[in-house]
Structure 1
Amino acid sequence: MESKNFKCKHEEVPVIAGFAATSLRRDMSAFSDYSSLFSESYAAELDSRSKTCYEMIKSGAITSQIKQVTQQMSDKVQSLRLSLNKTEGYLDLAKGSLDIAVEDFGLKAIRTCINVGDTEGVIMKGHNLVTILTRNQAALLAKGMKADFVTTLTTLIDEIATLNKDQNSKLSERSQTTNDNIKEFNDLWEMVATVLKTGKLLYRGVDDVKLKDYTLDQLLKRINAEGSSSAAGGATTGGNN
């Protein structure tokens, strides 16, 4: 797998490319005089590659989906906590007629898995609990447990399992998307780095204001500042300004 050749975030690369293309066009006379490499076609290529990388950035959308699934799973797990409390009450009422001791039903183990975020453990131990409850259902029904209690509990655990699978799938998708697209981002970054390096050569000691337009740290500060402004005022930060 190709490793990334830039130190900023993936989503920042096309934004910086937009800044670089804008500055390059503004200073094209100085750049083209320095090297015939720089022309409108070079700036247009920056724009084109930047647009391609923008379209490839799916991590934000996928991350939102992951957050949504995670919240749904958290809600289901909280419902499971409440069901375990009721289960414990029924077991206590029926403890004299169960085929194993109450502590062997595994409620403590499930709660421990919940507390440490071990979703796979919750699912596995939850299914084991359902098996034991089903085996002892007659005794529990005699003590007031509702007829659909075990079925509802089973459905809840199955829903957690489905959400967990969906979450893992989206995490893998986000990781794979980033890995698959790294070459495109590296290619764009190579062009950006060439513009920034040349701009610094041309304006260091000549024009401090323009020099900032070709200094990565300054561009990253600009991105952060515009991002904060957008969050506060509802504006949208544009990459090709």
Structure 2
Amino acid sequence: MNTVANQNSNPLLDLLLSIVLPSIILMKFSGDQHLGAAGGLVVALAFPLGWGLYGLVKYRKFNFIALLGVVSILLTGGIGLLELDTKWLAIKEAAIPGIIGLVVLITSFTPYPLVRTLLFNPAVLDVEKIQQKLDEANSSQMFEARLMRANFLVAGSFAFSAMMNYILATWIVTSPAGTNEFNEQLGQLTLYSYPMIALPSMIMTLGILYYLWRSIHDLTGLGLEEVMAVKSEE
């Protein structure tokens, strides 16, 4: 099982097949002298789409993030091939993180906020030990409030991503869909979105994780190695 997990996690290969190669094809090989507008778009989309489907088939494991990636690619390809108005590209770019952020926000008003479900569970943390220390310090309510705040912060990070995606797509992609210029601008959008959107979003996520860790440490006095879940070896 460890081998499968390692093979399923290769960020450099993900970056190469999903971002770098498609962007190069769109910007450099979608002219009439090479693949053409439609051909360039199809070939560029084939890399991330094929890689995503390969992962799903190879490991036979449903991955919500991979599914979102496939949907995003199909929508982008449809907009280009059907030559729809570029405003739909901007809407699509904003819709996916926007929907995720909305779902995260909605979970804040349920018994199962996303942050609690993903992080504060026995598979990740020693929940029993943390809860015992919180009860001893009479800090359970304060910790719940901080968990809720972290959930709102996660929703806010997706809202930021949705807003920036829309602004960036509107600013960069101005040529009609189905043209060489559209493909080139689509490649630029893909490249620029990482330093301008993905990197800030990652920093926000790391900041939220640090905030949660500091909250646990401040309220319980436990160290990092003490709060992590310990898997028993059979």
TM-score calculated relative to the size of structure 2 = 0.30
- Asked which structure has the greater CA Rg, the reply is 1
TM-score calculated relative to the size of structure 1 = 0.30
Could you say which structure has the greater relative contact order, defined with CA pairs below 8 angstroms and 6 or more residues apart? 1
